[in-house]
Amino acid sequence: MRIIAGLLAIGLAGCATPPSAYYGEYTRGGEVADYRAVLSECRVMAKNKADKDNYADPLTAVWWSYVEEYTLTCMKEKGFELVQKK
């Protein structure tokens, strides 16, 4: 019983973790820039595109991976680069 409860807790924790595209800061032209408004626009676009283009059920891990990919692509198209923190 404890094993099942432990696995359930691990599974829920993994599902509740937001995608990595939402962590960190973005730079534009090599300098830290205010990115929040653009990121918000890109998130909305990415969620809509993930709903339209993919067969994954919304809010599943697969769906979130598409949202992350589309968000990063949108930000890159707008001139922003995600700062990779170590």
pLDDT digits (tens, 9 = 90+) for 44-64: 999 999 888 877 788 888 888
Question: Where do the domains of the chain lie?
Answer: 2-82
Q: Give the residues across from 26 on adjacent strands.
A: 82
pTM of the entire predicted model = 0.67
Tell me what pLDDT residue 10 has.
Answer: 60
Min mean pLDDT across 13-17, 36-40, 68-72, 74-78 is at 13-17
C-alpha to C-alpha distance for 70 and 80, rounded to whole angstroms: 13
Using a 10 angstrom Cβ sphere, with 0-12 exposed, 13-18 middle and 19 or more buried, the burial of residue 56 is: middle
Task: Please name every residue paired with 28 in a beta bridge, in sequence order, or none if there are none.
Answer: 31, 80
